[in-house]
Amino acid sequence: MKIKAQKGKIDFASIEKKWQKEWEKKKIFEVKENPKKKKFYCLEMFPYPSAYGLHMGHALNYTIGDIYSRFKRMNGFNVLYPMGYDAFGLPAENAAIKAGEHPKKYTNNSINNFILQQKSLGLSYDWSRMIKTCEPEYYKWNQYFFLKFMEKGLVYRKKSAVNWCPKCQTVLANEQVHGGKCWRHEDTNVEIKQLEQWFIRTTAYSDELLEMVKGLKWPERIKIMQENWIGKSFGTEIDFTINGKKWPIFTTRPDTIYGVTFMVISAQHPKLFEIVTKEQKKEVENFLKKLRSVSEKELEELDKQGVFTGSYAINPLTNEKVPVWAGNFVVADYGSGMVMAVPTHDQRDFEFAKKYNIPLKVVIQPKDEKKKLSEEKMNEAFTDEGILVNSEQFNGMNSEKAREEITKYLEEKKLGRKTVNYKFRDWLISRQRYWGTPIPIIYCDKCGIVPVPEKDLPVMLPEKVEFGKGNPLATNKDFVNTTCPKCKGKARRETDTMDTFFDSSWYFLRYCDPKNNKEPFDKSKVKYWMPVDQYIGGAEHACMHLIYARFFTKALRDLNLITKGFDEPFIKLFNQGMLHGSDGNKMSKSLGNVVNPIEMINRFSADSLRLCLMSLASPDKDSIWNETALESLYKLILKINNFFKNAKIGNSSKRFESKINKAIKQVTEDIKNFRYNLAIIKLREIFDSMEREKEISKNDLESFLKLLHPFCPHITEELWHNLGNKSFISLESWPKADESKIDEKFEEIEKSLDKTVEDIFNVINIVKQKTGKEPNKVYLYVLPNEVESFDAGELSRKISKELKVFAVNDKNKYDPENKSSKAKPGKPGIFVE
């Protein structure tokens, strides 16, 4: 049987549109819980919809996930593969202000555009589960979780020094401050302000977050980043006394306590002025003013600057009085916001002491006698371990033993204690901006802070607001003025909104039950689908999103909102590489190297783009855009299409059966391990050999289409139907390799054919150089048992010349130079003329 050939060029656009519509109409990617089927939850980090639409990085990310989902679906899994939009956030608000458009309208337009573009890529999402975090149906549950966390003591309000970006006009979480700059504004110094803010007690889970990261199948570097972010260190808390009040100070080096010659309190410490004396007040205030107005260059210099507070701290072991300085290099919320300074054994303390003429005192000597330290001769701190001196009864001990003994002694005297310190901070979620979830809190003069009762949720974000004068909620009287749920008296609403990372901390749970309006999700549905089996997204989310989502899962588990034993949301994580412009630089408008995926789809088809994105490099590695590659893959698809139109269906040769079964085995392994680029190479090879076959079985043709399907879902669906199938290839089962049909002999033959082609070209070149003429006839002399292996037709096609094959013992052969005597096993003699 021959498939009817169609004339003319193939209209990819209408083929692709046709199948996208068919899939949608028949709802073939919509899934339900099915206890009889094994589930697989594949998820890409949901996008922030901007007016610019889909960029090439998105296309890459979603293609990776779609290939995996299609593969798993064909392998018999009940695949949950949803999509939604991280729709709240500052960029929409800013863009809206600039364009004079309401953030809601801006966001919805962006989302609608995004959906159209995603659909044109042929992504197999279950669109019935789509969520938008800016809708009250979603953010109601943010408010609900906030209240639940509050009941559990996981929410609190505190006046604290906060990071303030003057450009964003809002507070930033510690995670959003990179090297003193705003994460959105690389050129803007973050200021410190004292404000009443809402916090989530993420640190309640520090240990579990740290412990359980070890068991995750995540890229090692992401795991290390999380460990460092939590930053657990063991040490000793020592009670110093300042003006009669105890100040517990954390240190990892209690062995240096006899060398403390001053203390440094964070310049941002909320209680700084409790210890500043009258005499020093003016000077401290001037110093703080200077800190707020520094330029970038000066900031580094300021790192080593400070000001005397006028107060002294008493060292509990020596009873010595040492001055307390305020400095910029101590973080306000690390430890207790104050450190004991040991200039002889800490480099920063050393530089500080030198600058302000603070005395030094050596208390650790190196083990090497020759390197003995003296205060006068030191020009840098000695930070290694050593032997204690000038330390009373601890003299002569090594650092490690001294740490233990000194801590023990402090504990006995109730002057200190062994302790653990974390770099990890509680999550500051208050934002003074409009486009976010209102925090469900009411302030009443009589009753104080009153949570909005659950039945009154959601606290709706008002639509009519005025932009441009600070937080639009604060100036909206209808929103602010309310009645107290407790005493029914006049009250005010909280006008802060939540950090949008709150929205993205649980969206993967909502996908399991997106339409539920009675609860955030049905526990049993979450039990069926979660955890996410494969999460795909960028490495830039190593700390914020991935830590918050892990925290949420643990907190919801302990609130009994999800099943016990479900501790981690994302079992496997895949970080895709970055796609650079064709010039090797990061794609950016200013460099003019941005490639628009939709334009490429319009010019070449979605299937070609998908195939191209996956062939540029291994999906976890960075790649460089290459339009020539796209064009050649487009031609490949054309060739495949033409081949199928004209393919003769019959019996496959033994050689092809071996080849296709081997390909099934390899491509399966490659896709399973995200080696998509290698899978594509194998698909090209198998197609090359298909073209050489006289006829192929329908089953083998179908196997090829199935292997190609995850990469090129549209054209394979079309060709599948052209083969007479009524089902969707998208729902067909993945081919299984028949190992008994794989014969390595054929591999060997192929290899020796390739080698022979190479040899022929060498001989041709030699003759060409000798005679100056291009030979066009080639004669091969092979051992009698190899005649069948050297297919004259195929070789002739490969070298584009006339070619004849003779057995060396053939009496009628044409062999003027007796080249048949040169033939060896697998290596024919060659004559050209």
Q: Which residues contact Zn ion (rule: CB under 5 A)?
A: 165, 167-168, 182, 184-185, 444, 446-447, 484, 486-487
Cα separation, 771 vs 766, whole angstroms: 9
Identify which of residues 454 and 599 has a Cβ nearer to Zn ion in the complex: 454
Q: Are 634 and 608 in contact (CB under 8 A)?
A: yes
Tell me which residue has tokens 């020596």: 318
Identify which of residues 178 and 185 has a Cβ nearer to Zn ion in the complex: 185
- The angle at the Cα of 108, spanning 102 to 114, to the nearest 5 degrees, equals 135
Cα separation, 793 vs 813, whole angstroms: 18
Identify which of residues 429 and 444 has a Cβ nearer to Zn ion in the complex: 444
Identify which of residues 88 and 625 has a Cβ nearer to Zn ion in the complex: 88
Q: Which of 792, 788, 798, 793 is nearest to 780 (CA)?
A: 792
Segment holding 523, helix H or strand E: helix 523-529
Q: Which residues pair with 709 in a beta bridge?
A: none
Identify which of residues 448 and 793 has a Cβ nearer to Zn ion in the complex: 448
- Rounded to a whole number of angstroms, the minimum distance from the CB of residue 299 to Zn ion is 17
Q: Which of 568, 464, 632, 518 is nearest to 212 (CA)?
A: 568
- Rounded to a whole number of angstroms, the minimum distance from the CB of residue 190 to Zn ion is 8
Sheet holding 490-493, edge to edge: 448-451, 441-444, 490-493, 481-483
Identify which of residues 8 and 179 has a Cβ nearer to Zn ion in the complex: 179
Cα separation, 574 vs 641, whole angstroms: 33
Identify which of residues 446 and 755 has a Cβ nearer to Zn ion in the complex: 446
Pick left, alpha or beta for residue 193 (phi over 0 → left; psi -120 to 50 → alpha; otherwise beta): beta
Which amino acid belongs to residue 812?
N
Q: Half-sphere exposure of residue 716, counting CA atoms within 13 Å on the CB side?
A: 24
| Start-end of H helices in 88-237 | 90-99, 103-120, 136-151, 206-213, 220-230
Rg (CA), the chain: 35
Segment holding 791, helix H or strand E: none
- Rounded to a whole number of angstroms, the minimum distance from the CB of residue 442 to Zn ion is 8
- Rounded to a whole number of angstroms, the minimum distance from the CB of residue 433 to Zn ion is 11
Identify which of residues 154 and 484 has a Cβ nearer to Zn ion in the complex: 484
- Rounded to a whole number of angstroms, the minimum distance from the CB of residue 185 to Zn ion is 4
Identify which of residues 168 and 358 has a Cβ nearer to Zn ion in the complex: 168
- Rounded to a whole number of angstroms, the minimum distance from the CB of residue 79 to Zn ion is 39
Residue 592: phi and psi, rounded to 5, are 65, 25
Identify which of residues 168 and 225 has a Cβ nearer to Zn ion in the complex: 168
Tokens of 135: 């809708």
- The angle at the Cα of 20, spanning 525 to 538, to the nearest 5 degrees, equals 60
Q: How many residues does the chain have?
A: 833
Identify which of residues 37 and 185 has a Cβ nearer to Zn ion in the complex: 185
Identify which of residues 171 and 778 has a Cβ nearer to Zn ion in the complex: 171
Q: Which of 779, 765, 772, 766 is nearest to 808 (CA)?
A: 779
- Rounded to a whole number of angstroms, the minimum distance from the CB of residue 44 to Zn ion is 27
- Rounded to a whole number of angstroms, the minimum distance from the CB of residue 58 to Zn ion is 24
- Rounded to a whole number of angstroms, the minimum distance from the CB of residue 164 to Zn ion is 9
- Rounded to a whole number of angstroms, the minimum distance from the CB of residue 110 to Zn ion is 21
Tokens of 273: 């002025």
- Rounded to a whole number of angstroms, the minimum distance from the CB of residue 458 to Zn ion is 21
Q: Are 500 and 133 in contact (CB under 8 A)?
A: yes
- Using alpha carbons, list the distances in angstroms from residue 596 to 159, 589, 599, 675: 46, 11, 5, 25
- Rounded to a whole number of angstroms, the minimum distance from the CB of residue 172 to Zn ion is 7
Residue 142: phi and psi, rounded to 5, are -60, -45
